[in-house]
Amino acid sequence: MMTDTAQPSRPSLVVPLVTAAALITLSLLLRALTPEHLDPDHARRILGVAMGALVVFYSNAIPKALTPMMPGRRDHAADQAHRRFAGWSLVLGGLGFAAVWAVAPIAHATVLSVAVLGTALAAVIARVVGIGPKR
Amino acid sequence: MTAVFKALADPTRRKVLQLLQNGPMTAGDLAAHFEVTKPTMSAHFAVLMAAELIQAEKQGRTITYRLRMSVLEEALLGFAQAFGLQLTPGDDAAPAPTASTPDSP
């Protein structure tokens, strides 16, 4: 039987709840500020960049979230490769999402940002189901 | 974050992390890639574990190490490796050997 010498700590709900509350608060604040104090397009850009940053923040930790190794149960090297690929792909997708909302023409920002992040997510899914690059 | 910079400052530890990018490896397999004593390798592993860049799992007398790096930490590793950076002055030397060698292969 395999024993963990460094068991990962149990994930806490505090950070996700605080993050969700911060995002809702930001949305309400931007809503309250528009249109008198803030241009609605700027408000959409700020929220888009914040959501991209959120994707980057959570995706960054994907390769670090390990489960205990079970002998003979899984291909640990492949599992690690999948996690690293997912982390990198979604971090770059999140950065692209934020960048699109920061600089792209506002009329096309929604389509472009979803396309960028969707492509990253599709690459992860393709990799996991075995039709993507192996390394 | 200081622990991460300290861990990435040493070329041996960076090489260990690069080897682990291919998948989990036992302490013996990792040590075979370096011409250093077992206590020195143990000290390197200890620094990497303190920085939470690797995780050790034990089966009997064998310890298997695997990568536990975030995307940002991997990017820092690539940056340090590409430019040969000594991220924290004075940390590039091998750590002092420890008395015990708990990770014998």
| Predicted complex ipTM | 0.78
Interface contact B17, partner A, CB < 8 A: no
Contact A63 B70 (CB under 8 A): yes
Q: What is the mean pLDDT of chain A?
A: 86
**Which of A3, A55, A80 is the best residue to mutate to test the B interface, defined by the most B CB atoms within 10 Å of its own CB?**
A80
Q: What is the pLDDT of residues A9-30, one digit of tens each?
A: 566 788 889 999 999 999 999 9
Contact A113, A101 (CB under 8 A): yes
pLDDT attached to residue A85: 95
The C-alpha angle B96, B99, B101, rounded to 5 degrees, equals 100
Contact B4, B47 (CB under 8 A): no
Residue percentage of chain B with pLDDT more than 70: 80
pTM of the model: 0.80
With a CB-CB cutoff of 8 Å, which residues 43-62 of chain A face chain B?
Answer: 59-62
Q: Which residues of chain A have pLDDT under 50?
A: 1-6
pLDDT at residue B102 above 70?
no
Q: Which residues of B touch A82 (CB under 8 A)?
A: none
**Strand positions, DSSP E, chain B:** 25-26, 54-59, 62-67
